[in-house]
Structure 1
Amino acid sequence: METVKSLNKWANAHTYQWLDILRVVVGVFLFSKGVSFITSTLYYTELIAPIKNFGGGMIFIHYIVAAHMVGGIMIVFGLLTRWAIAAQIPILLSAFSINFIGQMNIGNLILSLLLVLICIFFLFYGSGKHSADYYFKMQQ
């Protein structure tokens, strides 16, 4: 717990407007990916086809949709950002590794790698000063 407090203090001392904008953009992107999962399930079932024999292909799809949509909204508002990011990282690592199992798509590979790196940064950085977490902390 002390580590999280020290990370929050460091993040609040080194907050920048562009980091908050980046957090919001990542949240909106993840939310839109969740919506695209719902609207085009055929594409994503074909995407997950190489790993469907590992069990629970539909469970993966439902977990991904819920995590992207709810987590995206939480990241946009900066509410429990580290928890929302922690739910996204396994999905993004899977998206990165699925390029090596199935057909290689360089665009998806770069996008998923970039998102993994950004999410790992926000896992340590937190939500920043312009967030619901900071607002609620200041209300105590």
Structure 2
Amino acid sequence: MNVIRKIEHWGDVHHSKWLDYLRIMLGLIIFGKGVSFISDTSVLQNMITQNNVFGFSGVLISVAIHVVAFAHLVGGILITLGLVTRFAVVIQIPILLFAVFFINLTPGFSTPNSELWLSVLVLFLLIMFWVVGSGPLSVDEGLKHKTGKRYA
């Protein structure tokens, strides 16, 4: 547990403002993917059934799509605002690992497979923000200073 606290402290100390703009963009991309999953579930459902991921049936695929869409919508908003960022990122990481290794990897590493490259980039950024945290332009930072002044 002490190692995790040291990593969090290092991330809080070494966080630039440009990383906050990158975090906001990441949150908007994840939120946008959640909106696209909700608006057209058949595309994602076809991708999962084409790849025969874990032999899911129709009902399980439908439930999984809605859970992933909800996680992307809520997680995207939380990451964009910088509110409980590390928690929101940890929720997104398993979804992106699944997307990279089971959904987007089967078509291959070709240039037209932009979904794979986007998933890999988003996964990398999620891991980075898990380490560095939300930064100075976030709701977390505002709450930290607000509660620090009130109770200190």
Indicate whether the TM-score tops 0.5. yes
Residue 105 (structure 2) aligns with = 100
Q: Percent of aligned pairs with the same residue?
A: 39
CA distance 1:2–1:136, shift in 2 (3 Å)? farther
CA RMSD of aligned residues (A): 1.8
From 27, 49, 56, the equivalent of 1:54 is 56
User: Would you say how many aligned residue pairs link Structure 1 and Structure 2?
Assistant: 139
List runs of 5+ in structure 1 lacking aligned partners.
none
2:74 matches 1:70: yes
List runs of 5+ in structure 2 lacking aligned partners.
148-152
For 2:116 and 2:140, how far apart are their aligned partners in 1?
A: 32
**Comparing 105-114 and 68-77, the one that deviates more:** 105-114
Q: Which has the greater radius of gyration?
A: 2
Residue 79 (structure 1) aligns with = 83
- TM-superposed CA distance for 1:108, in Å, is 1.3
2:105 and 2:116 in contact (8 A); partners too: no
- TM-superposed CA distance for 1:2, in Å, is 4.4
- TM-superposed CA distance for 1:29, in Å, is 0.4
2:124 matches 1:117: yes
- TM-superposed CA distance for 1:75, in Å, is 0.2
- TM-superposed CA distance for 1:99, in Å, is 2.4
- TM-superposed CA distance for 1:5, in Å, is 4.1
For 1:35 and 1:139, how far apart are their aligned partners in 2?
A: 33
